[in-house]
């Protein structure tokens, strides 16, 4: 048996991969935001204010933290104008080619969220517009009682009836908004839920409060995904530290 002796260890030529914390990321990747700041959100909503239903939908997403499916599933009976709350207890799903309402799976995701007066006023205005639209399309007989009437519906020309929104409705609507207004920072639909969480933190809400409002079962989910802070909050943190140190 012959033994061959080599002068160098071949493993010396292997480049070891860097550990995750040692990897260098492009600055633009680190700074990429998946939510709107307060001013960016205000600008976005002002830009689409003339689009009644879209404006109301994106306002609700950003001011309640609702998921897209929860928004589609809302009925007028879910809105308590007197106590200023919205019940988020179901979601719209698409199965076997049909749209169906499904009760939210976890207890934490079935929740009531408080709503500000301005958002409630926008909802009332949209309700009047919705009724007018039914009348214009000669579908007034289809407008149902509050517990049966979805807040957001689209017209099905083939069936000549109003129906729940398709699951991709908001995605397509948002894409058209950005095409029409290319200067707006582009985010996806889920970013409005992320925006709500980020602005809650910036306003001083606790992790526990944000968890309850977003319907997270595990508080770690809230901490892992939604503990991004806005630039304004970062500045406040720096100011607080400086005032405390006093030198």
Taking the CA atoms of the chain, what radius of gyration do you get in angstroms?
24
pLDDT recorded at residue 128: 93
Question: CA-to-CA distance for 109 and 10, rounded, in angstroms?
Answer: 56
Classify residue 187: in a domain, yes or no: yes
- 47, 57 contact by CB (below 8 A): no
CATH number for the domain spanning 91: value is 1.10.443.10
Q: CA-CA distance, 136 to 60, in Å (whole number)?
A: 25
Residue 57 and residue 165 in contact, taking contact as beta carbons nearer than 8 Å: no
Alpha carbons 126 and 152: distance in angstroms, whole number: 9
> 60 in a domain, yes or no?
yes
Is 140 within the bounds of a domain?
yes
Task: Kindly state whether residue 242 falls inside one of the protein's structural domains.
Answer: no
Q: Tens place of pLDDT for every residue, the chain, 247 residues?
A: 556 566 666 655 555 554 443 333 333 333 445 789 899 999 999 999 999 999 999 999 999 999 999 999 999 999 999 999 999 999 999 888 788 899 988 888 899 999 999 999 999 999 999 989 888 888 766 666 777 899 999 988 887 888 899 999 999 999 999 999 999 999 999 999 989 988 888 888 888 898 999 998 888 777 765 555 556 666 666 677 767 776 5
Domain extent, residue 107, equals 38-233
> What's the pLDDT at 216?
86
Q: Please answer whether residues 62 and 196 qualify as being in contact, where contact means their C-beta atoms are separated by less than 8 angstroms.
A: yes
Q: What pTM was computed for the model?
A: 0.79
Whether 159 is in a domain gets the answer yes
DSSP state of 70: H
Whether 64 is covered by a domain: the verdict is: yes
Question: Which residue has 């602005």 as its token pair?
Answer: 199
pLDDT score recorded for residue 138: 80
Number of domains in the chain: 1
Distance CA 203, CA 230 (A): 10
241 burial (CB, 10 Å; 0-12 / 13-18 / 19+) is exposed
Looking at the domain assignment, is residue 240 inside a domain?
no
Write the DSSP string, 148-168. T-BSSEEEETTTTEEEEPPTT
Say how far apart CA 37 and CA 195 lie, in whole Å. 7
Supply the pLDDT for residue 19: 42
Whole-number Cα distances in Å, 165 to 30, 112, 150, 188, 213:
35, 22, 10, 17, 24
Residue 226 lies in a domain: yes
- pLDDT at residue number 21: 38
Beta strands 90-95; 161-164: pairing state: unpaired
């Amino acid at each position: 048996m012959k033994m061959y002796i080599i002068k160098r260890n071949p493993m010396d030529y292997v480049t070891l991969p860097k550990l995750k914390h040692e990897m260098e990321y492009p600055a633009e990747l680190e700074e990429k935001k998946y939510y709107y700041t307060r001013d960016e959100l205000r600008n976005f909503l002002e830009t689409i204010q003339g689009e009644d239903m879209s404006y109301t939908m994106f306002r609700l997403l950003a001011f309640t933290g609702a998921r897209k499916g929860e928004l589609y599933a809302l009925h007028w009976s879910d809105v308590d104008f007197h106590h200023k709350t919205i019940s988020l207890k179901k979601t719209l799903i698409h199965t076997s080619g049909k749209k169906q309402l499904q009760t939210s799976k976890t207890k934490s995701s079935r929740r009531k969220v408080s709503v500000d007066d301005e958002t409630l006023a926008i909802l009332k205005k949209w309700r009047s517009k919705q009724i007018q639209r039914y009348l214009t399309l000669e579908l007034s007989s289809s407008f149902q009682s509050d517990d049966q009437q979805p807040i957001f519906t689209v017209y099905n020309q083939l069936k000549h009836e109003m129906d729940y929104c398709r699951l991709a409705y908001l995605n397509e609507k948002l894409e058209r908004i950005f095409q029409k207004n290319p200067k707006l920072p582009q985010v996806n639909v889920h970013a409005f839920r992320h925006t709500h969480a980020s602005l809650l933190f910036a306003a001083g809400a606790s992790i526990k409060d944000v968890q309850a409002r977003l319907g997270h079962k595990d508080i770690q989910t809230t901490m892992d995904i939604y503990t991004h802070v806005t630039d304004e909050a970062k500045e406040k943190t720096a100011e607080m530290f400086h005032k405390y140190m006093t030198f």
